[in-house]
Amino acid sequence: MSQSEIKLCKLIIRENFAETAEKVSTILLESGPCALKLLAIYTNLKLDQVKKILAVLITHHIVKFNVNKKGLIEYNISIKAILSRVRFPIYICTSKTLYGDAAELLVEELLQRGEATMETVVNKVTERLNDALEASGHPKISSTLVKDKFVSLVQTHFIQRCLTPMRDSGGRVISLGTPDDPDICHVIPVNTQRRRSDSPPSAKAMKISENNTDTVYWQVDFDRFHQHFRDQAIISAMLNKIDKKASEIIRTMLRVSETNTAADSLVTTPISINEIFINLPKELEITKPILEQYLSVMCDDSQFVFKAADAGGGMYEINIHKSLTELCKSHIESVVQERFGSKSLRIFRILLLKQHLEQKQIEEYAMIPAKEVKEIMYNMFADGFLFVTEVSKAPDHAPSRTFFLFRVEIQRVARMLLKRCYQAIANAMLRREHEVKEHRRLLDKQQRVEAIIASLDQNGVDESQKEEVEQTITPAERNQLAKVKQDINKLDQCEIQLDSTMFLLENYLHYSKINSQLS
């Protein structure tokens, strides 16, 4: 865990949960698992305050707890859960894109609460939607429509059940248990979903219904959203590399194989060409011979699709690890070009292809003068994009009798860039915090004016009165407000774009770690 990662986590906690929560989180981040009384001592906070903070962080799945060897309950913090909070706007936007406005509000409500029962979330979202519809003059909707959206999100694994608390013999909660069957997390209890037929409920649903359904709590499944983002990145890459039809073929393969492929599997389950053809959207008008040509091109020209076997007309699979490796290389190459120029990118690509080269060989392959190559390679080496291996002819390692071979290590470069992403997001958050603090008086004034105008609209007053209230903000103040909002929007966009790069690098390193463990 790097210092830049810890700094970013502390800023996220402070922005979302205030400074007292940041104190508790800092101890857990820097010292590791800690007992309740020690947390109170280290933070100089009252025991009740620490309890309340931990309760909130546990509700948001940031803090976890278990019993240590001495029988004491220790609390530890999840960095992954903290960093996921940067992606909240993307989770909400994705929900709206896939399932509409009701799903957007359902996911937003669950993200704000951390966890909640279905009834609570559905009623709140129905109320919000009806208020908006009533204000715009449209008829209200029933909670059944919102509940159907909730069920759809659960069935597609974007929402899952919270873990059941485990208790000791004295009734004390000691940890959160793990389900015997992971699929149960995505099954709705019988009496909380609308029965559309007289068919008997499934065994899993009956098993869940044995619990008190009023206490079944739900949360957003971040891993399912991350899987969706990963798939979208692969689809977009294929769209840029070949064309739209190729990207739709990849989308179909991912959709068909997602139910049979393990979450951390390096490759998808092999799919026959017949199954791909049957599941392709009809509007693409792709015939089977054209599909064969596309698959052949994708196998030859990309590291994404591979032919696993010849049975059934051909079995094809998507290599997730190699796909993410290619995407990661593309991002790193983009950074190299922006930072060092096109000649540096040429040298970087040559080293990726040849792996180990001396400086003289690089000059010949890149066709760049020796003096310029020396300068470029020194800059890239100093910034951590190139590495050197020394191969000595003699035991004394004298420079005159030593070969200096330059190389690129994608994983080390990815870790370095990931660290810089953490630093950049933290800087953007600090800058936004400074902008808001600097113009707090003006922003508060605008909020008060908007609140007064909203109340006047409800009372149906004349336009002249509203104009009079609006004129309390001078033209100079309006210009200043516009500039502040523009700067904050830019910083928000910066965070989202940095998080996109951070997500890709994290996924690449995660799958590389799994690959190294298996090999």
CA distances from 16 to 57, 60, 62, 91 (A): 11, 11, 12, 17
Q: CB count, 10 Å around CB of 335? A: 17
Domain stop point among 200, 220, 240 = 220
Closest to 81 in 3D by CA, of 153, 12, 184, 174: 12
Task: For residue 196, tell me if it sits in a domain.
Answer: no
Q: Is 95 in the same domain as 64?
A: no
| Dist. CA 120–CA 125, nearest whole Å | 9
Q: Do residues 93 and 135 both lie within one domain?
A: yes
Please tell me the predicted confidence (pLDDT) of residue 452: 84
Site of tokens 């009734």? 171
Chain Cα centroid distance, residue 283? 32
Secondary structure (DSSP) of 292-329? HHHHHHHHHH-SSEEEEESGGG-EEEEBHHHHHHHHHH
Q: What pLDDT score does 454 carry?
A: 80
d(CA 7, CA 422): 8
3-state secondary structure (DSSP) of residue 258: coil
**Helix, strand counts (H, E) of the chain:** 21, 13
Same domain, 304 and 359: no
Say which residue the tokens 């769209």 belong to.
239
> What are the distances in angstroms from CA 376 to CA 331, 348, 351, 357, 419?
19, 10, 13, 15, 23
Task: Answer whether residue 298 is part of any domain.
Answer: yes
Domain count within the chain: 5
Instruction: Identify the CA nearest to 408 among candidates 347, 338, 324, 331.
Output: 347
Residues 449 and 27 sit within 8 Å (Cβ to Cβ): no
Residue 179 contacts by C-beta under 8 Å, 6 or more apart in sequence? 161, 163, 164, 185
Task: Look at residue 458 and tell me if it is in a domain.
Answer: yes
CA–CA gap between residue 46 and residue 29 (Å, rounded) = 20
Count how many Cα atoms sit within 13 Å of the Cα of residue 283 in the half-sphere of its side chain.
Answer: 2
Q: Which amino acid is at 298?
A: M
The whole-angstrom distance between residue 68's C-alpha and the CA centroid of its chain comes to: 31
Q: Could you tell me if residue 194 is inside a domain? A: no
| Residues 227, 213: Cα–Cα separation, whole Å | 29
State how far the alpha carbon of 373 is from the alpha carbons of 227, 246, 354, 456, in Å: 41, 39, 17, 69
Residue 501 domain flag: yes
pLDDT < 50 positions in the chain: 192-198, 205-212
Asked if residue 107 and residue 19 are part of one domain, the reply reads no
Question: Containing domain of residue 97, as a range?
Answer: 85-188+215-220
| Residue pLDDT, tens place only, 50-80 | 999 999 999 999 999 888 888 788 899 999 9
Q: How far apart are CA 430 and CA 484, in angstroms?
A: 15
Shared domain for 392 and 434, answered yes or no, is no
Residue 388: C-alpha distances to residues 220, 360, 383 (Å) = 45, 14, 13
> pLDDT value at position 25?
92
The conformation of residue 461, written as its DSSP 8-state character, comes to -
Q: Of 288, 318, 348, which residue sits at a domain end?
A: 318
Rounded distance between C-alpha atoms, residue 247 and residue 319, angstroms = 15
Any domain includes 197? no
| SS3 label, residue 248 | helix
Give backbone dihedrals phi and psi of 50, rounded to 5 degrees, phi first: -60, -40
SS3 content of the chain, % helix, strand, coil (to 5): 70, 10, 20
Assess if residue 249 is contained within a domain: yes
327/393 same-domain check: yes
Asked if residue 225 is part of any domain, the answer here is: no
Task: Answer yes or no: do 343 and 275 share one domain.
Answer: no
Q: Are residues 16 and 103 in the same domain?
A: no
Angle between helix 320-340 and 410-438 (nearest 10)? 60
Among 408, 440, 468, where does a domain finish? Answer: 408
What local confidence, expressed as pLDDT, does residue 209 receive? 46
Do both 98 and 184 map to the same domain?
A: yes
Separation in Å, CA 169 to CA 102, 166, 174, 178, 252: 43, 10, 10, 18, 50
pLDDT in tens, 295-312: 888 888 777 888 888 877
CATH of the domain at 149: 1.10.10.10
Same domain assignment for residues 446 and 403: no
Residues 35 and 96 both lie in one domain: no
Q: Do 382 and 431 sit in the same domain of this protein? A: no
Closest CA to 35 of 71, 61, 62: 71
